Amino acid sequence: MLLFTVIAVAVDTSEKTDDFVKANLTTRQIIMDYYLGFVPFIWSLLFPLFVFIAVIFFTSKLAARSEVVAVLASGVSFNRFLKPYIIGGILLASFLWVGSRYWIPKANGIRSDFQSRYIDKNDPTKNRVIGDCDRCFYRRIDTNTYMGMKMYDTASKSAGIFFMEKVKKNEVVYNLRGNPLIWDNGIKKWKLCNAVERIVDSMKETIRKYDTLVLDIKLKPFELRNDMYLKDRLTTPELIQFIHQEEMRGTEGLSTLKVERYRRTATSFTVLLLTIIGAVIASRKTRGGSGMHLAMGIVIAATFIISDRFSTVFATKGNFPPILAAWLPNIFFIGVAYWLYRKAPK
């Protein structure tokens, strides 16, 4: 973990040196405000690989010294030989499971805040305005109600233009427009100035005008943000609640959030799975020694990562079920682990 951390920090620093200099940041600020969150992020990302390599190195040394042969020759079954690995894998998997649910999202919050404040603002690919709409939001409030706003300012919690519509049987029955829209911290509600309200039925249209209209809508200022790091910074209970809330509103495009939710558990199981695979592979004494075992391990790890990426893309860009996308690599490698177990000398 320390070795990979040094390499990751060195590579990341070389890529972001210009951004650090432009932001005029001190070394302490860079360490405390960025790398304090970046290092746990790297650990969580590569933790299954760390465990896998450690198991291969350790077990390969045993096999090279014929200690595995001696253990099995003394009458100990291969299942008993794997028992300490399974116990250790469960402990490490539990550690990662708790960390990915609660601790890692807190670290990701530190990293993403720094990234969006100092790094992304200089990246034109992450600050593009879609069409002619600057800081626009369109939300579904409930089953029949839709709202939109333009030129929303997160600092003042206000928007330049606001509209809201209610639809019934594919027909607009209510329309509200006005500007500006302001969040009132005192009453914790939105206030719409220069509001024009239209109520439409089958026979007539009623128009009302208000200098100020208090809106009772289920939408808070913190929800109005285009946060590409949202799924990383939310703890798992918060992520589940957020997904449920967006589903109630009818929001589409939640596959990325759902994949992240299921992956946090799936990745923890991956630790146990790779522990068993590593122990089975490295327990066989080969002429190539640790090098041969490590080469086989790298091939398996690379195959696992590629399959994980493919399943994620299919889930986020297609109609692949998110839970299956998160667990498909594990399901496949359960079969690989069983095949290697059956082939292992006992």
Return the half-sphere exposure (C-beta side, CA atoms, 13 A cut-off) of residue 140.
Answer: 12
CB-side neighbour CA atoms (13 Å) of 234: 18
Per-residue pLDDT, 288: 64
Residues 29-86: pLDDT tens digits? 888 889 999 999 999 888 998 999 899 989 988 988 889 889 999 999 999 999 999 9
Please report the pLDDT score of residue 133 as a whole number. Answer: 61
What is the predicted pLDDT for the residue at 289?
66
DSSP element (H, E) containing 267: helix 255-282
Q: Each residue of 291-344: pLDDT tens digit?
A: 777 787 778 877 887 887 777 777 777 677 888 888 988 898 899 889 988 888
Spatial separation of the C-alpha atoms in residues 269 and 51, rounded to whole Å:
12
The 8 Å CB, 24+ separation contacts for 16-19 are: 16/119, 19/118, 19/119, 19/122
For position 262, what pLDDT does the model report?
A: 92
The pLDDT of residue 122: 61
* pLDDT score of 257 more than 60: yes
Whether the predicted pLDDT of 128 surpasses 60: no
Give me the residue spans of the domains in the chain. Answer: 2-122+245-343, 142-217
Give the pLDDT mean for 216-233.
77
pLDDT of residue 151: 82
Cis peptide before 180 (omega within 30 of 0): yes
Write the class of the CATH domain 142-217: mainly beta
| Cα torsion angle, 105, 134, 247, 257, sign | negative
Q: How many Å apart are CA 92 and CA 99, to the nearest integer?
A: 10
Question: What is residue 95's predicted lDDT score, i.e. its pLDDT?
Answer: 95
| pTM of the predicted protein model | 0.76
Q: Which two tokens stand for residue 120?
A: 């992304």
Average pLDDT score over the chain: 85
Residues 6+ apart with CB under 8 A from 312: 259, 325
